[in-house]
Structure 1
């Protein structure tokens, strides 16, 4: 039941509004002074406040600021028998929803109140939805790699520069694209994701650029494309490395002209959209192979962000587990559970070829399978043992030379990670020359591009 607070020093107004609004199904509380209004607000929450301008102890317009400080979510409808345009404008400026002149039309009060409550519900729902979206897309991690990525996001987000996000599948490229969007001047405009790998080649053009009625068999209505849907906002071209060359040429034209051309039309449509692209492929290698246009690559690669795989930022695993547990528990009938330190330690020894996405799936599976309130290391081992959770055990099962090489690679990689891939610092810590470390890295297949 929605609650209404009526603030008016006239008893007959209080009584009439209480009677009428109670019949409408609202719970009504009344107050005759500004102090009474504040006292009522501190005791309970109200959806809408009907506020008279002339109160014995304070001007109603001035009271709006105090009301918003205590209960920013409520809507305020101001009423007055001495209304002026200036008074109404000032009330709206301060945050009132509407202004009604006395003598009151009860029908108008009902309508305004209904609309104010609908707006209030919408704001609450939107706020809850925004919180869910923000939580879903929250960047979780405290590793050096994640800190660097967050710094890059803060630098590029306020600009309109194009961004190319690279990294293996499942590392969280979409989350980074969304983080850039939310911190940009386009944050309140649409964020549209297009999975270029999931759309059949023959449909990519119509999906991206739209089409006119009759443009092809089955085109019974005009339809705008993804670029138009993202107008004023941001578009993420996910897995752009899988886009065919013909569509690449049209995307390049759009970047150069800011125009889209519907299939079946020769009239260009102007769009204002920020482009972020992502891929799990080595785009430079695809350019060399002739699978990706070099000019488009240069256009997109204005600000590159590489997301390292989870195996290279294992410091993030405990926080990610905590985040996923909270997410799964809050969105399912699974009771409250926690991972023991031993379980998290065992998960941290696994390399996660499927990266963060695989970790999330494993966490959910473990929460479902585990009886009781704690997920322990024994059930973790049963789920991921086939993937060689413990490097120590797997090394003992290998021939001497192979085990020695694998341990040496693991040891040097861990030292490099610890020193943020600083060759000189790592060589000093290992007690060897820089040239020897470079030679070892080449021998063991450790790529310096991970830096």
Structure 2
């Protein structure tokens, strides 16, 4: 493997030369430029993985040099060095694309910590781009987790068969994505993958939606139409939230699975259906079967190859990778300056429990991309619950049981507002932003709280 190449740009020999020696002794390949002209010359002769630049150059604007380097080397990332009096310039550099900055004087330990962070994030971005180029699939899974890689290997093996797959795990873990991957890698990939959210269909419409309906079957059925099972013929039927499949329909669905044939509502004609079933749920079907809330024979019929997807908190190594991925996807749809997550912010997010899993992380990245384009994202930009993950638990434990639900919710909200206000030193505008309220609404809520 080739060594990481670093371009150090600093006009002070007493700093530049020691930096070069320290980096080389740690295994980096280093070129030292002592002016803007030297840096531009180096750029014509080689490409670099990292730019370590002093913004205060004698012959050029350090921001212009950084722009040249980053513009010509897509995967190069920048760390800028600055004195105490030029912090504003360092902030501007980060808005232009620098990963982080170092304030002089700094220790070598600090430098190497930041180097590690920037190189890890650079590798994340390269991985995402290489996946995009190599895969050509919208359903490519973004992961570094050994557990997830084992799951993908299992999915690839089962995709080559027609076996029924049951995807298990919390909401937001990516069960729908794994269903897409199984379909895309199967012999049925050229045929439809029909996705059905069982929780979103009214019980009165479920039978006709699933099995189709013949003309005249009931008032308003003015024409015949096929259901989801027929639509999935020769392809894949993905039943999400299968635990919500009405009990009265489970027997009919079980027969359709076994016989590969159906009757539409109000009809006697038999229609052949050849589909592969992938089902998903965040509930324990075995427990539901034990309480007769789900048919036991249907459970055994669909529990052929169960795959449990772990929650995001059990694969934290994926969080930086997913952040970079969601940022890139958001930028493709909404071209605007990309926010920059500091290493401290990434660490805060990696320590957060993510009850909403990958879906929650995606929403966080989109929220930040909309509200803070081009800004440096620090932990204070995140919600209080992310900065203090035990806060909600502590608040909940402080409540007495026995109040009506409406009163308990109001009590929780009041205490939470006070906690947020205290956490930001009484700053009402910042508190309103965290709470998602206007300053006027927050002011009115505080008047009511303090009048009690």
The answer to whether the 8 Å contact 1:325/1:338 transfers is no
Instruction: Determine which of 132, 150, 153 is the counterpart of 1:151.
Output: 153
Distance 1:345 1:135, change over 3 A: farther
Q: Which residue of 1 aligns with 2:142?
A: 140
The answer to whether the 8 Å contact 2:336/2:373 transfers is no
Q: Which residue of 2 aligns with 1:261?
A: 263
The answer to whether the 8 Å contact 1:349/1:391 transfers is no
Instruction: Give secondary structure in 2 for the equivalent of 1:206.
Output: helix
Instruction: Give secondary structure in 2 for the equivalent of 1:321.
Output: helix
How many residue pairs match? The answer is 265
Q: How many angstroms apart in 2 are the aligned matches of 1:168 and 1:149?
A: 15
Distance 1:256 1:365, change over 3 A: same
1:35-434 matches, within 5 Å, as 136-380=138-382, 383=383, 385-387=384-386, 389=388
Instruction: Give secondary structure in 1 for the equivalent of 2:200.
Output: coil
The answer to whether the 8 Å contact 1:149/1:307 transfers is yes
Q: Which consecutive unaligned segments of at least 5 residues does structure 1 have?
A: 1-129, 400-451
The answer to whether the 8 Å contact 2:385/2:391 transfers is no
Q: Which residue of 1 aligns with 2:24?
A: none
Distance 1:142 1:212, change over 3 A: same
Q: How many angstroms apart in 1 are the aligned matches of 2:243 and 2:177?
A: 19
Distance 1:352 1:393, change over 3 A: closer
Q: Which residue of 2 aligns with 1:118?
A: none
After superposition, what is the alpha-carbon deviation per residue over 1:39-63, rounded to whole angstroms, capped at 9, x for unaligned? xxxxxxxxxxxxxxxxxxxxxxxxx
Instruction: Give secondary structure in 2 for the equivalent of 1:197.
Output: helix
The answer to whether the 8 Å contact 2:198/2:239 transfers is yes
Per-residue deviation, 1:392? 11
Per-residue deviation, 1:137? 2.6
After superposition, what is the alpha-carbon deviation per residue over 1:219-269, rounded to whole angstroms, capped at 9, x for unaligned? 111110011111100000110001111211111000111001101101110
Q: How many angstroms apart in 1 are the aligned matches of 2:326 and 2:187?
A: 30
The answer to whether the 8 Å contact 1:169/1:280 transfers is yes
TM-score (norm 2): 0.55
Per-residue deviation, 1:390? 5.2
Per-residue deviation, 1:387? 4.5
The answer to whether the 8 Å contact 1:162/1:302 transfers is yes
The answer to whether the 8 Å contact 1:261/1:268 transfers is yes
Q: Which consecutive unaligned segments of at least 5 residues does structure 2 have?
A: 1-131, 399-452
Give the structure with higher Rg (CA).
1
After superposition, what is the alpha-carbon deviation per residue over 1:153-173, rounded to whole angstroms, capped at 9, x for unaligned? 111010000000011111110
Q: How many angstroms apart in 2 are the aligned matches of 1:226 and 1:148?
A: 31
Instruction: Give secondary structure in 2 for the equivalent of 1:215.
Output: coil
Q: Which residue of 1 aligns with 2:33?
A: none
Distance 1:355 1:163, change over 3 A: same
The answer to whether the 8 Å contact 2:262/2:270 transfers is yes
Q: How many angstroms apart in 1 are the aligned matches of 2:305 and 2:164?
A: 6
RMSD (Å), alpha carbons: 2.5
Q: Which residue of 2 aligns with 1:449?
A: none
